[in-house]
Amino acid sequence: MNFFYILSGKKIKQAMIILVAAFFTAGIFYIEKGNISPVFSTENGPRVIYQGEQNEKTVSLTFNITWGDTKALPIIDILQKEGIKKATFFLSAAWAERHPDIVERIVKDGHEIGIKGYDYKNYTTLEDAQIKKDIYKAQDVFKKLGVKTTTFLRTPDENIDSRVVKIADSLGFTVVHWSIDSNDWNNPGVDQITNNVVSKVKGGDIILFHASDSAKQTAQALPTILHEVKKKGYSFVSVSDMLNNANVKSESIE
């Protein structure tokens, strides 16, 4: 009788080892297929994503929109004309509420949408509950519009700290920054905006543009930027595609 229990215990142990090995193998296969979550956590918590794999010949175009109704469509038209269907638009939900037709056009053209909060507020000055409320409110707006959003977040005024990043992560969002700032919002001139991007571009870059009415020169600069980046051998992918197939770079935020 004692022998029976010892033998059964060994069999159970062996079964557990096989089961763990199976899960481990499945996990390796899952990673190798490129289905890795873009959220990178460290001992200090989640980090902000700012760049994809530099060895890849791909870059991501991202456009922030928080207000205005005259600059977005010309930019969308340029992307369509150039055959680019995978830009990522970070939209203020308050803006999206007022411009459902433009939001529909963005989605129809094949681009993806990330959340840029609802109210234009500095998250670093808000209480935890207020930050969560703003993000939830933004989510509700896009759901009512029937728009599928990504799990990517840029804060309304782009101020972030470690607390904000951790709150976003707790709600299932990854904060996405950028590796190249076109500085188009500052309207430094079409040539300067173009140079800000073309002179620095490399594989894995996440490029920041704006399509709010404050960015008065973006549409003029964009065609040349797209042509020059293509000439360098790069193709354009969404942030989702870049992060799902890359060794992304992240940075800790104090």
pLDDT digits (tens, 9 = 90+) for 166-190: 999 999 999 999 999 999 999 999 9
DSSP state string for 123-168: GGGS-HHHHHHHHHHHHHHHHHTT----SEE--TT----HHHHHHH
Q: Are residues 186 and 86 in the same domain?
A: yes
pLDDT of 244 reads: 84
Q: Are residues 28 and 64 in the same domain?
A: no
Q: Are residues 5 and 63 in the same domain?
A: no
Q: Are residues 106 and 206 in the same domain?
A: yes
Domain count, the chain: 2
Q: Are residues 98 and 144 in the same domain?
A: yes
pLDDT at position 120 over 80: yes
48, 243 Cβ separation under 8 angstroms? no
216, 184 Cβ separation under 8 angstroms? no
Q: Are residues 15 and 57 in the same domain?
A: no
Distance between CA atoms of residues 139 and 148, nearest Å: 10
pTM over 0.85: no
Q: Check which CATH number belongs to the domain holding 200 and give it.
A: 3.20.20.370
Q: Exposed/middle/buried for 132, CB within 10 Å: 0-12, 13-18, 19+?
A: middle
Q: Are residues 73 and 18 in the same domain?
A: no
**What digits encode the pLDDT tens for the residues 4-58?**
333 334 443 444 443 333 333 333 333 222 322 333 343 456 889 999 988 889 9
Number of other residues whose CB lies within 10 A of the CB of residue 33? 10
Domain span including residue 6:
1-33
Q: Are residues 116 and 81 in the same domain?
A: yes
Number of other residues whose CB lies within 10 A of the CB of residue 97? 16
Q: Are residues 237 and 117 in the same domain?
A: yes
Q: Are residues 121 and 137 in the same domain?
A: yes
Q: In sequence order, what are the residues at sequence separation of 6 or more whose Cβ sits closer than 8 angstroms to the Cβ of residue 228?
A: 194, 198
Give, in degrees to the nearest 5, the angle at Cα 98 between 96 and 100: 60
pLDDT of 11 reads: 42
pLDDT at position 148 over 80: yes
Distance between CA atoms of residues 247 and 254, nearest Å: 23
Rg (CA), the chain: 22
Q: Are residues 67 and 172 in the same domain?
A: yes
Q: Are residues 96 and 7 in the same domain?
A: no
Would you state the structure tokens that stand for residue 223, as one six-digit string? 């065609």
